[in-house]
Amino acid sequence: MKALSIIAWILFALAAVALVATVPIENSYASKSNLIQRVQITEADKLFGSQGTPVGSPAQYIIEDKEAFVGATEDGVQLVDEAYLEANGIYPLQLKSVEATIGYVRIAAGIAAFLFGAVGILAWRKAKTGSFELKAPVKG
Amino acid sequence: MNLRIASVLSLAAVMAIASAAPMTFKVGAGSAAQQLATVESNTEFEDFIGRTDKVTGSISFDPATRKGSGTITVDAKSISTGIDLRDEHMRSAGWMDTEKHPTIKFATTKVTHKSGNTYEVEGNLTMKGVTKKVKSNATVTHRKASAATAAAGFKGDVVQVKTTLNVRLSDYSVTIPAPARGKVAPTVKLTLSVFGQTGA
């Protein structure tokens, strides 16, 4: 029972560490993300006075290859060359996907921490008293 | 003398009428890379964009009267999202069934000039064998044939048309399988950004 208690506390600690670690990981990805508009650049852009044809809507992406960036709009949206991404096999990571995944990890780690914590307490009590029974307080 | 003036006026009138006649612009005739059709899905988990440059069609447009019409065909089989497995799923019978329905077609039924380069466009969108009436705004920009249009790889006059249609997938018999729910939006944005040229 003591071994079970130790294992449960170790797993509780790992789940707690995972839960806490999601905060700096999320912040790190958020700090690397930019509001990005993917654009298709062709010879026609100059003719029609554009900086490229938008491919989809602007979104928060994490793209670390600086050579993919080809400029910015007046309102600060970074323009990224779609052809460069394709040629270099870069599938742009979206911040919302990272946040959703981290959300799932938090839920899983929270549930794991709760369960392993409960098992750890019960196993510790069992090891100490030899019983899982929760005794009612004695009156008077 | 009067006859000469009348002849000149008649010629001018004929030229005016001729110049006001709608021109036919062929889409997909020039550099294929300049054409773009995208399908965009936005969900809480992720956005994804499917794209192709295999867009063809014909646009009739009169820059003087600002009247026009057009038909655009998108090669649905060539739409790529950047992830091969997702593309396979998208082309399968359960989704777009591109073996049976290889194209997405948009044909205008009414085009009304609003202001500047903006037009209200009504038309029929055919996807997966289902045709529905759709309405959207479009921008149409015309450039007369010049050294600049030639430098950009076009022959003759050039017209650029951009429009976005909101497409509810269930309207076109596209059902989202259970494993993909939440990852694919029930309504996607179909955006066309195409160039047409009068030259062959």
Helix axes A95-129, A2-32, angle to 10 degrees: 160
Report the pLDDT averaged over residues A35-56. 91
**What is this model's ipTM?**
0.81
Contact state of B38 with A86 under an 8 Å Cβ cutoff = no
What per-residue confidence (pLDDT) applies to B160?
A: 95
Measured between CB atoms, does A31 come within 8 Å of chain B?
A: no
Confidence of residue A140 (pLDDT cuts 50, 70, 90): low
Q: Is the per-residue pLDDT at A109 higher than 60?
A: yes
Please give the mean pLDDT across all residues of chain A. 90
- Among A42, A82, A97, select the one facing B31 at the smallest CB separation: A42
What per-residue confidence (pLDDT) applies to A135?
A: 59
Confidence of residue A136 (pLDDT cuts 50, 70, 90): low
Buried b (16+ CB within 10 A) or exposed e, B77-92: ebbebbeeebbebbbe
The residue of chain B nearest to residue A89, with distances taken between CA atoms, is B82
Cα separation, A117 vs A5, in Å, equals 9
Q: Which two tokens stand for residue B18?
A: 């001729």
Contacts of residue B47 in chain A, CB cutoff 8 Å? 56-57, 59, 94, 96
Confidence of residue B181 (pLDDT cuts 50, 70, 90): confident
The residue of chain A nearest to residue B32, with distances taken between CA atoms, is A42
Contacts of residue B152 in chain A, CB cutoff 8 Å? 42-44, 46-47
Task: Report percent pLDDT > 70 for chain B.
Answer: 88
pLDDT tens-digit readout, B85-105: 999 999 999 899 999 999 999
The residue of chain A nearest to residue B44, with distances taken between CA atoms, is A96
Q: Is the per-residue pLDDT at B17 higher than 50?
A: no
pLDDT tens-digit readout, B125-168: 999 999 999 999 999 999 999 999 999 989 999 999 999 999 99
Residue of A40, A60, A105 to mutate, interface with B, max B Cβ within 10 Å = A40
Q: Is B20 helix (H, G, I), strand (E, B) or coil?
A: helix
Residue of A39, A42, A51 to mutate, interface with B, max B Cβ within 10 Å = A42
Q: What is the DSSP string of chain A?
A: -HHHHHHHHHHHHHHHHHHHHHHHHHHHHHHH-EEEEEEE--THHHHTT-S-EE-S--EEEE---GGGEEEE-TT-PEEEEHHHHHHTT--PEEHHHHHHHHHHHHHHHHHHHHHHHHHHHHHHHHHHHS----PPPPP-
Q: Is the per-residue pLDDT at B11 higher than 60?
A: no
Confidence of residue B32 (pLDDT cuts 50, 70, 90): low
Report the pLDDT averaged over residues A121-133. 78
Q: How many CA atoms lie within 13 A of A115 on its CB side?
A: 8
